[in-house]
Structure 1
């Protein structure tokens, strides 16, 4: 499939490289296996490699610093391997291309597995480089090299990476790195993993190694829609009276965004969007049906879908579930546009339920949208009205997530913003999305802890773009991944974090309540083992301890307005700011417990 070339943001002249400038080394010719690997990373135009250091790749570490001068790629020190991979994941969400992350041996890979799974489910490219103690047992140090050597280390993540390899020589390692980057960046995108033998990294080269010709060894993969299939799609579209577009996974390419908008306007299709993925259609457009959804259990979105006579899915994450939940008419025709089936396997069920499809287009959905819009000479025409004002709910004894959302919108005003993360309690109608960079989507894997690292990676990619990165995280998510803050501060990556702090793993409180109701047991006990109280955690102080500006705890509208004003000013001055907003547990009406609907029946 075609490589997903997202809207390319210029790489600015920034000061993160000035933080860790190495002493200039003497002779700089490639002399060791890891030098050749480092040169290959540079040839691939990979600007950064997020790392949590370890002895298994000390050879590569030295090559990046003393052979390449810690530039192109520059190392980004992280305090946890999960953060390193999450930062690369966030970078990919903005740029559409892979950044590298290095993890230490099997133990570092174990730490990184959640972040790799997130990138896999989110279909985001990440080049993960691991290492192993010397494969040759005669070269291993006592004890430590033995416990850090695995016969098949790639097996740890093979089920949720697109490809893995453990090359046996420096030349093979260079080729493997090129192949891994090529596969990661090819649609459907995803993480890849390459294991470097410690002994190979540190061995002297017997002869110079030619760095691979990247342009010829990793060419773009052509995968446009065929004329015959395009004609059949146009026939179905022109015959439809009530078409609906499901705008699912998409890149940040403005060309593809405009194609979807133009196509919808040309055929007068209602459009649904998914809050689990990045912005794919303007959510306050007259054709947008309801608010962005997590699932399709009811409301305007379900009604529109139920009455459709044609459904066009642009890589909707769960097409079968959406059609079933909405009760789509059996007579409705379905066009599915996705390449996702190419990476389905027997381990992960992330491929969702099978959906009834009348025309399957196994291509990059962005390219297909562009081709359809071109065939219909469709261009965006509707002029969007001014954004609806942010209206704060009346102040009560405590703040809600809606207070937080509307207060933040008012504080940011007309600034260009990229929402890098949102909490589960979010209502998609609170914040109109009008550009592919307005919202970057969820963490992918449905766990928690990825939001901070992903957001820092996205903020790094957004430097110089004119957009302010804003991450709105739940307290549980932030507390699991909060050391990403240190990396952002250290490398001068400005970003605003706002924490919707309900002092609880609240989603699980609701689960416990439902179990109690089903078993006729006291629902009053749902909080036990869920609430983070006695003592309450001082999130602002945690941010301050890592060099960020910390604000809060915020408990009133007045305190929130003042904190947002100061935090936004800090970010505009190039700093990292964290605002701890104490909110009452609860979800917005439109999203309340939608993920738990089945268990309540």
Structure 2
């Protein structure tokens, strides 16, 4: 006779068997079957449940956990109200292609007569025609559970979709009645994510020929992979072929600060003179209003989604687009290039690197006396960081921090949802407890992070994150934006 479990337990077991080891949760009355499943099993064969007192903390810890481990976590919140609080974290994750298995309860569907039916006034007030509409544009796949029988298969499908490149969050809403129903103990995963895609050899040969023929080639990048493979292959390719690399609008650093071919993130100083540009998996490679490639330059975009189809408007000129896993693409391109350094060009690249480093050093000197500035604080943190990681949200740009390898500096995604830095650092520390983790965050972003909830979960889970709060005396992002648009206006 088959062993029966609730759909809630089947979902949890399926998450675990599909590689989800951690569930960040902010539960409500909709999660009674989930609580019962943990109590019944003692947590065996289920993801480890970590509670936090705000939904943005729950989702963003899952984001940081992925940055540390490369493994997807689940995040669970309370019906529509909890989901609304989780939206900003999901927008940040979607912007940086971070997979999260998002779960929320869904108001009970029935008013009586079934296990799990409505029992409180709020279960009328929380009813919506389309709860999933709250998050549909920030996830890759969504589904509302209807029957217990296919709950585990739906989880397996969601996990597979989330981990397929370009990765991203998926969402399941769980009405309480089917969550209470029984089904058989689930078996192994019914689906798996496909293998990462390799590039078309002909496309790689064409791109290599363009880069090899260029007088002044340039690589533009902004994020790497958890394993550091993009960094290793890209740096080797650039050194072997004397190519400058500009790391722009960084979310996960690729380059060591002192690497000789890194020319800094001032893309406007390098882009106009480049006759071949390779954009590696960068959603925002430059700001068109401020800089753009030369009219006759070859512009090659490479990555899992080189056109970033999730963006309605992204008009970068593209003369060639190569769809593939970024690390596999760079490795293939490296093999196709001649690997012959150009001494004169390399000398010019190293001179640009030295100039860039001198500019950063001068900024640090300004803060060495009187009031500390961001560059000086970055210098002090760099001196103790070692192989640790910095999460900087309004904490100063990447080049100010002296890092020695990839995945040591993390910045907020291009979605820009504030309050990301501290909970992301906590999730990262949970996934990599042996590594020093520092969060440098502006005072406004610190308030948006729901700091009481952050510090509570840090204490409960013993997560030693050094948090440095910078008070700039203003709402600095709004001030800077106003000056950009109205440099001579009354506000200026």
TM-score of Structure 1 vs Structure 2, range by shorter chain? 0.7 to 0.9
State whether structure 2 residue 317 is matched by structure 1 residue 356: yes
For residue 335 of structure 1, report the CA deviation from its aligned partner: 0.8
2:374 matched residue in structure 1? 401
Cα gap change, 1:189 to 1:68, in 2 (>3 Å): farther
Separation (CA, whole Å) in 1 of partners of 2:412 and 2:44: 31
Q: Is the 8 A contact 1:119 1:444 kept in 2?
A: no
Q: Is the 8 A contact 2:12 2:46 kept in 1?
A: no
Further displaced range: 431-440 or 188-197 = 431-440
2:186 equivalent among 181, 199, 210: 210
1:126 matched residue in structure 2? 100
Alpha-carbon displacement from aligned partner over 1:9-56 (angstroms, at most 9, x marks no partner): xxxxxxxxxxxxxxxxxxxx6532211111111212212111111011
Q: Is the 8 A contact 2:283 2:308 kept in 1?
A: no
Q: Is the 8 A contact 1:279 1:433 kept in 2?
A: no
Cα gap change, 1:427 to 1:222, in 2 (>3 Å): closer
Alpha-carbon displacement from aligned partner over 1:333-373 (angstroms, at most 9, x marks no partner): 1111133368735xxxx455212212110222222112222
Separation (CA, whole Å) in 1 of partners of 2:156 and 2:123: 27
1:491 equivalent among 461, 470, 482: 461
SS in 2 for 1:366: helix
2:279 matched residue in structure 1? 313
Separation (CA, whole Å) in 2 of partners of 1:400 and 1:474: 12
1:479 equivalent among 444, 447, 468: 447
1:454 matched residue in structure 2? 424
**TM-score, normalization by structure 2:** 0.87
1:335 matched residue in structure 2? 300
For residue 71 of structure 1, report the CA deviation from its aligned partner: 6.7
SS in 2 for 1:274: strand
For residue 323 of structure 1, report the CA deviation from its aligned partner: 6.1
2:474 matched residue in structure 1? 504
Cα gap change, 1:222 to 1:423, in 2 (>3 Å): closer
Separation (CA, whole Å) in 2 of partners of 1:228 and 1:452: 44
1:535 matched residue in structure 2? none
Separation (CA, whole Å) in 2 of partners of 1:144 and 1:342: 44
1:16 matched residue in structure 2? none
Separation (CA, whole Å) in 1 of partners of 2:484 and 2:288: 26
Alpha-carbon displacement from aligned partner over 1:91-127 (angstroms, at most 9, x marks no partner): 1122223101001111110111111111111211111
Summarize the alignment of residues 199-278 of structure 1 with structure 2, pairs less than 5 Å apart.
Answer: 199-205=177-183, 208-211=184-187, 213-214=188-189, 217-278=191-252
Separation (CA, whole Å) in 2 of partners of 1:376 and 1:94: 32
1:422 matched residue in structure 2? 392
Q: Is the 8 A contact 1:56 1:198 kept in 2?
A: yes
Alpha-carbon displacement from aligned partner over 1:286-320 (angstroms, at most 9, x marks no partner): 1111x3x3xx5xxxx4232211110001012224x
Separation (CA, whole Å) in 1 of partners of 2:484 and 2:331: 46
SS in 1 for 2:376: helix
For residue 65 of structure 1, report the CA deviation from its aligned partner: 3.9
State whether structure 2 residue 340 is matched by structure 1 residue 367: no
For residue 254 of structure 1, report the CA deviation from its aligned partner: 2.4
Alpha-carbon displacement from aligned partner over 1:177-207 (angstroms, at most 9, x marks no partner): 11111111111111111111211111234xx
2:59 matched residue in structure 1? 85
Cα gap change, 1:99 to 1:425, in 2 (>3 Å): closer
Separation (CA, whole Å) in 1 of partners of 2:231 and 2:483: 41
State whether structure 2 residue 309 is matched by structure 1 residue 344: yes
Q: Is the 8 A contact 1:277 1:441 kept in 2?
A: yes
Cα gap change, 1:329 to 1:164, in 2 (>3 Å): same
For residue 514 of structure 1, report the CA deviation from its aligned partner: 6.7
Separation (CA, whole Å) in 1 of partners of 2:337 and 2:412: 33
Cα gap change, 1:285 to 1:516, in 2 (>3 Å): closer
Q: Is the 8 A contact 1:247 1:281 kept in 2?
A: no
2:87 matched residue in structure 1? 113
**TM-score, normalization by structure 1:** 0.72
Q: Is the 8 A contact 2:441 2:469 kept in 1?
A: yes
Summarize the alignment of residues 516-535 of structure 1 with structure 2, pairs less than 5 Å apart.
Answer: 518-520=488-490
TM-align CA RMSD? 2.9
2:291 matched residue in structure 1? 326
Summarize the alignment of residues 136-215 of structure 1 with structure 2, pairs less than 5 Å apart.
Answer: 136-138=110-112, 139-205=117-183, 208-211=184-187, 213-214=188-189
Cα gap change, 1:284 to 1:351, in 2 (>3 Å): farther
| Number of residue pairs the alignment of both structures matches | 470
Gaps spanning 5+ residues in structure 2: where? none
For residue 394 of structure 1, report the CA deviation from its aligned partner: 5.9
Q: Is the 8 A contact 1:171 1:209 kept in 2?
A: no
Cα gap change, 1:68 to 1:188, in 2 (>3 Å): farther
For residue 396 of structure 1, report the CA deviation from its aligned partner: 4.2
SS in 1 for 2:293: coil
